[in-house]
Structure 1
Amino acid sequence: MKNLILLLALFTLTKYVQAKQTTRPNVVIVFIDDEGYGDVGCYGATGFETPHLDEMASKGMRFTNFYSAQPVCSASRAGLLTGCYPNRIGFSGALFPHHKIGINGEELTIAEMFKEQGYATACFGKWHLGWQKEFLPLQHGFDEYVGVPYSNDMWPNSNVTGERLPVGNGRGDYPELPLIRGNEVAETITSLADQDKLTTIYTEEAIDFIDRNASSPFFLYVPHTMGHIPLGVSEKFRGKSEQGLYGDVMMEIDWSVGQIMDALEKNQVEDNTIFIFTTDNGPWLNFGNHAGSAGGLREGKTTSWEGGQRVPFIIHWPNGVPAGRVCHRLACAVDLLPTLAALSNGTLSKRKIDGVDISALFEGDFTSDPRQTILYYHGKNHLNGVRKGNWKLVLPHTYRSYDTQPGNDGHGGKRIAVEIKEPELYNMMRDPGEQYNVAAYYPDKMAEIMEVVEEARQMLGDLNVGIEKGSENRTIGTLQD
């Protein structure tokens, strides 16, 4: 009898452990390129509709004060995947095909954190953290990869006509744009018609991955190439929006989200899947009708104003996120690694990161306030601003403004250099558009935020004041001979 009881106890324990293992959440992150704060229906988009994203928000949660790690491609992606401000790990700006640097193998990525737990992992889309083999996704925690290694305008073709440009004529010296599968070039993108296929390719790969891995935990990262110029959209959506080509692209992105959600539902894993949608930075406004909307925020991509770095963020997870909630707390893309580690019982690196666990916010506990500040680093290592609570201090720096005539139809307009000579202070609760500098009225608040500035400069440096590096900067990866 005792043996029977022992066997029953062991059986019950085994089933409990198996249940706990199978309840580890799947994770999907869809990461869009150059989509602005105002480019989703529930964030105020006009001229096109995003019904799948709107439904995702209504059944989940959206954030109003969520920030990308930096307002530009490579740096933003580095922050998302490693939980670090990009300048901490040597990243600045966007990597180009001539660069021989990339993500350092010593940095733990989200994919590696999940892979250590036995998750299946995949990346389908734009990588942009180094194009040489040692920097590609399969060497940084992903089991599968299909995508382009950098931005789709880094090709030897015209972004307007798609025609091959002559060698010796700037862009004409770029190599062919590869579509990589695993570690090998599967084909090359040689025309605008090829660009039109990318969103569909990534979506189909994502669906297939879910279908093949639904019975065990998985992490799926879909960093879409669009809406970076040159814009590409399939015939399914070409001409469908009132806004034009950019609106068509946004509608196809929304379709992609819907297709992925359908695959989760079909495989009966929707309830236990953390599905996150966000973007890498704000809109590239000098491209006019081929650019998105900052939704009333100031400036756009590659600036440290709100339009450059405050982005849409939607999370859907029926098992863990209350439906229909809106979170106004501060959060940043660097918070995703520690948060997802906490939710999946994953292990973080011993190396210092900048992200904080915001899982309490996901659960609807808005009395929690895990992130107190945002550091607006940009350029090589320039600290252009700091947000603390509802206050943002803009530091003296030079930026390239969009406050001039934009281009259209794939042509980029000029930008103008603007110098901020004295610190400026903005109340983000009353003035999210950063129109009213109130520095003269709140000297105590200025002094309070300057304490954060000085601490950041000591840790990570600030070239605006001649500090090339701080005490905690690490090195970017370099090619090994």
Structure 2
Amino acid sequence: MLMFVRLQAVLLGLLMVSYSQAATPSTNFVVINCDNLGYGDTQPFGSELHRTPSLNQMAAEGRKFTHFYSSAGVCTPSRASLMTGCYSQRIGMHDNPRDGWVLRPVSRYGLNPDEMTIAEVLKQQDYATAIIGKWHLGDQPEFLPTRQGFDYFYGIPYSDDMTARTWKNDGSKWPPLPLMQNETVIEAPTDRTTLTERYTSAATKWITEHQDSPFFLYLPHAMPGSTAHPYVGTAFAGKSANGPWGDSIEELDWSVGQILDHLKELNLAEKTLVIWTSDNGAPSNKNNFQRGSNLPLHGRGYSTSEGAFRVPMIAWQPGRIPAGTECSELSTMMDLLPTFAHLAGTSPDPKRPIDGLDISPLLLADEGATTPHEAFYYYSGAQLQAIRSGPWKLFLPIKPAGNHPHFSAAQPPAPLLFNVVEDIRCEQNVARQNPDIVFQLWTLAEQARDELGDQNRQGNGQRVRGELPVDKQPVAQSL
């Protein structure tokens, strides 16, 4: 009789655990990704020019990450990494003969459909998926978001500055900038001054329509963008202290507030993890082409500087993400895919290795949680230029193939070692004082070259896969 009672108790316990697991609501995911926004462009990260009350509130209610990295200093490769959890060099999205580092309109290149995106991983758990905003991973039909795991696409297929023209490199005719819904152009040229407002409206509407099922919303804004003067809605034009750039930042902040408030109104806030970040640092330069700021970091976008790769990030999920906290451990955009997969109760395809790692312990501020990354690599296209491990960043003594934040005629190649935790502006080269650390990072760099390749070497890395599909001819008329 006693054994029977114990058996009943065990069975009841198992049923209760099973019911508890089944009753646990799935986490929704929203990723808000700005375009070319600088590390220091918002108040939570030090801006004294731009008013960002919504982001201030998000940081007060969430967790600020101060060592969060893009995988590239320019948009196509960084977005490819966010989508796939891989360095762009692993999946062939870092460079191509026709476009260079950034995909151009009517290109025959794009994200290989064989890769598994965040959207496809979450579809395994019956998530509704949408992208509202800038894609920039291929504009031909086989590369569009609707072929890469997204149920819905509303936005532009590439950067807002890629407007109608004849491209001198190959004579191709670029169409007027198209606004697309799924695989159909609904407006060309699109009115760029209304994009932020329309994306925000479309996002809140889509959330409402999918509030009763688990969802993943990717909201990659077109702004501040790649033009000399960002496009801004009339409600924000001329209102900031920093011209069109500042106007755009303040409109993007308004958009964040709209999304978070909407989640609260629908009682979804505690069920939804929201990540706010930027694809890479601001490409401001001495001629003030743009007025973004990466301070207090060193350098500009489109390079391998900290200002290009280290981007602002705030994580928000009331009741789960500890409010008003900060994380200074290294984490990356590539980590979002495995982290979301873990939180959704699934996993990436084990047959296709990725570079991202689960950072849920960092998000949740677990006691003693540290970065899961032994090393992080800074590639400029196909060239490995620098590597970070722990607080140390080593610039390799190479002749740079493109923009370099340090080497020039005045500063020829030599090992440069910075402690990017204590020396945030990268002003003190301590390579001579730390030969053992230089050797350690150099060894890790060799592992990166073996794994992912380097244009300074012959051949590709040993674990690079899937060159981009090139057997299709451009279909200009599709846009």
Matches within 5 A, 1:63-82: 63-82=65-84
Tell me what 1:449 maps to.
441
Displacement of 1:400 after TM fit? 2.8
Superposed displacement of residue 175, structure 1: 2.0
What per-residue deviation string (whole Å, max 9, x for no partner) do you get for residues 222-260 of structure 1? 000001133110011111111111110000000111111
For residue 180 of structure 1, give the secondary structure of its aligned residue in structure 2.
strand
Please tell me whether the aligned partners of residues 244 and 289 of structure 1 are also in contact (alpha carbons under 8 angstroms).
no
Q: Deviations over 1:256-277 (max 9, x none)?
A: 1111111111111011100000
Counterpart contact for 2:305–2:405, Cα < 8 Å: no
Alignment coverage as a number of residue pairs:
450
d(CA) in 1 for partners of 2:420, 2:14: 57
- Report the counterpart of residue 19 of structure 1 in structure 2: 23
Letter in 2 for 1:87: Q
Counterpart position of 1:42: 44
Matched, 1:389 2:380: no
Name the stretch that deviates more: 283-292 or 70-79.
Answer: 283-292
Q: Which amino acid aligns with 1:177?
A: L
**CA separation in 2, counterparts of 1:169 and 1:321?**
48
Shift of residue 131 of structure 1? 0.3
Is residue 339 of structure 1 aligned with residue 339 of structure 2? yes
- In the other structure, the counterpart of 1:256 is 255
Counterparts of 1:105 and 1:217, CA distance in 2: 24
Q: For 1:187-245, what per-residue CA distance to the aligned partner results, in whole angstroms no more than 9, with x for missing partners?
A: 1126xxx1101111111110001110111110000000001133110011111111111
Q: Which deviates further from its counterpart, 304-313 or 338-347? A: 338-347
Say what the alpha-carbon RMSD is for the aligned residues: 2.6
Q: How does 1:357-376 map to 2 (within 5 A)?
A: 357-365=358-366, 367-369=368-370, 370-376=372-378
Letter in 2 for 1:60: G
Aligned-pair CA distance for 1:26? 0.4
Q: Which of 216, 219, 237 pairs up with 1:219?
A: 216
Structure 2 stretches lacking a partner, 5+ long: 1-7, 95-100, 473-479
1:206 equivalent to 2:203? Answer: yes
Q: 1:282 to 1:16 in 2, by over 3 A?
A: same
TM superposition shift of 1:466? 2.4
User: Would the alpha carbon gap of residues 327 and 444 (structure 1) be closer, same or farther in structure 2, given more than 3 Å must change?
Assistant: same
Q: Is the 8 A contact 2:301 2:308 kept in 1?
A: yes
Specify the code of the residue in structure 2 equivalent to 1:133. Answer: P
TM-score (ref. length: structure 2): 0.89
Mapped to 1, the partners of 2:306 and 2:111 lie a distance apart of: 27
Match of 2:5 in 1: none
**What are the Cα deviations for residues 97-148 of structure 1, in whole angstroms up to 9, with x where unaligned?**
1421111111110001111111110000000000001101011110000111
8 Å contact 2:34–2:222 — kept in the other structure?
Answer: yes
1:28, 1:275 within 8 Å by CA — same for their partners in 2? Answer: yes
Q: How far apart, CA to CA, are the structure 1 residues paired with 2:431 and 2:14?
A: 67
Moved over 6 A (4+): 8-14, 165-172, 416-419
Instruction: Check 1:418–1:137 CA distance in 2 against 1; reply closer, same or farther (3 A cut).
Output: farther
- Which residue number in structure 2 is paired with residue 161 of structure 1? none
Residue type at the aligned position of 1:120: A
Three-state SS of the structure 2 residue aligned to 1:446 is helix
For 1:47-126, list aligned pairs within 5 A.
Answer: 47-92=49-94, 93-126=101-134
Paired amino acid for 1:114: L
What SS class does the counterpart of residue 225 from structure 1 fall into? strand
Per the normalisation by structure 1, the TM-score is 0.88
Structure 1 residues 246 and 342: alpha-carbon distance in aligned structure 2, compared to 1, 3 A threshold: same
Cα distance, 1:447–1:17 mapped onto 2, change above 3 Å: closer
What amino acid sits opposite 1:53 in the alignment?
L
Q: Which amino acid aligns with 2:440?
A: E
The 1:216/1:297 distance shift into structure 2, 3 A limit, reads: same
Please tell me whether residue 295 in structure 1 is matched to residue 298 in structure 2: no
Structure 1 distance, partners of 2:358, 2:35, is 25
CA distance, structure 2, for counterparts of residue 18 and residue 203 of structure 1: 33
Conserved? CA contact 2:294–2:307, under 8 Å: yes
Query: Which whole-Å deviations, capped at 9, do the CAs of 1:395-421 have from their partners, x for residues lacking one?
Result: 124243689xxxxxxxxxxxx888751
Classify 1:314/1:397 alpha carbon distance in 2 versus 1 (closer, same or farther; 3 Å): farther
- CA distance in structure 2 between the partners assigned to 1:114 and 1:418 by the alignment: 50
| SS in structure 1 of the partner of residue 270 of structure 2 | coil
Matched ranges for 1:458-477 at <5 A: 458-463=450-455, 465-477=456-468
- Structure 1 pair 168–340 and aligned structure 2 pair: CA distance change class (3 A): closer
Q: Structure 1, residues 319-377: CA drift from partner, whole Å, max 9, x if none?
A: 42111111010001101111111111122112110001111011112622212321101
CA distance in 1, matches of 2:431, 2:442: 12
Question: Matched residue of 1:265: which SS?
Answer: helix
**Aligned residue for 2:313?**
313
Q: Provide Cα deviations, 1:145-199, integer angstroms capped at 9, x if missing partner.
A: 011111111112xxxxxxxx78979999532111110011111126xxx110111
The one-letter amino acid of 1:378's match is S
> Aligned residue for 1:425?
417
Partner amino acid, structure 2, of 1:119 = Y
Q: Distance in 2 between matches of 1:38 and 1:250?
A: 11
The 2-side partners of 1:295 and 1:77 are apart by 23
Corresponding residue SS for 1:257: helix
Quick one: distance in 2 between partners of 1:72 and 1:257? 23
- Pick closer, same or farther for the CA change 1:26–1:418 going to 2, 3 Å: farther
